[in-house]
Amino acid sequence: MTIASQRRTEAVDAWGRRLTLRFEIEGSGPPLLYLHPAGGMLWDAFLYRLAERFTIYAPILPGTDLADTMAIHQLDDIHELVLAYEGALRSLGIGDAPVIGQSFGGMLAAELAVTFPGLFSRVVLLAPLGLWDKSAPWDLDFMTTPPDALPGLLFKDPECEGAQSIFRPPDSPDQALDNTVRSIWALGCVAKFLWPVPDRGLSRRLHRLIDPTLIIWGQDDALIPVSYAQAYRQLIPHSRIEIIPDCGHIPQLEKIEITARFVDEFLK
């Protein structure tokens, strides 16, 4: 697939000028906020498809840009991260837009929405982190999973096109090294907001999420049990869930057609 990318970036002073939040922006139409997962920002086919209808704003988690890896130390916890993001969204003037968050990005979207009710018009959570109960334990061991075992953890079918698209071999050893350093450090940055048990008390706050919310989960998510979809639905007043069969932790890559259809209908 050839995509004529019009991507641009915008750097926004945030968090009392302690850091610069960089947004990658793509597409045309009304604004939509996309919050990336722990592995970092990746423009995939799902997002390009959305970009035909929306202008996607994708902030890059501070610290995960190799340009300023130490920026992560300006944020002590998830609450500071939420305040920093909200301030940046206000500067950009993109309030009242829909938000889509994948995995860690889903947790962040929920945290933003509970802290600032009404900040978003609609909320889409794709297999979000943030809830943990001993009846369905899961852990952060994926952060030390060897690269060759990762596709099997993230995808029901590691051979699917979506999986293949993100595990492409790098062009050169130097690029491979860059990629490794970037992805390990990105996990380290995200871990700051999750460690050691990925539960920062979000379940106590989710009643404040008043925006219409769609929760999408892969039936065969090997990272976070699919039972958390129900838990999210019960805690968020105006929410519904869609469970996608034969699908792992990343519905937007593994089942792009179905995921895109659910999201399209919800955002109409």
* Site residues (vs other proteins, CB under 8 A): 66, 69-70, 72-73, 76, 143-144, 146, 177, 180-182, 184-189, 191-192, 195-197
CB of 57 to other proteins, least distance (A): 26
171 token code pair: 């062009």
CB of 26 to other proteins, least distance (A): 26
**In this complex, which beta carbon is closest to other proteins, that of residue 3 or of residue 184?**
184
CB of 186 to other proteins, least distance (A): 8
Q: Residue 111 and residue 209: Cα distance in Å, rounded? A: 9
Q: How many whole angstroms from its chain centre is CA 82? A: 14
CB of 68 to other proteins, least distance (A): 10
Q: Residue 261 and residue 223: Cα distance in Å, rounded? A: 24
**In this complex, which beta carbon is closest to other proteins, that of residue 142 or of residue 232?**
142
Place of tokens 């939040």: 21
**In this complex, which beta carbon is closest to other proteins, that of residue 53 or of residue 192?**
192
CB of 203 to other proteins, least distance (A): 19
**In this complex, which beta carbon is closest to other proteins, that of residue 53 or of residue 182?**
182
**In this complex, which beta carbon is closest to other proteins, that of residue 1 or of residue 67?**
67
Q: How many whole angstroms from its chain centre is CA 80? A: 18
**In this complex, which beta carbon is closest to other proteins, that of residue 71 or of residue 253?**
71
Determine contact, residues 253/166, Cβ cutoff 8 Å.
yes
CB of 261 to other proteins, least distance (A): 35
Neighbours of 237 (CB within 10 A): 14
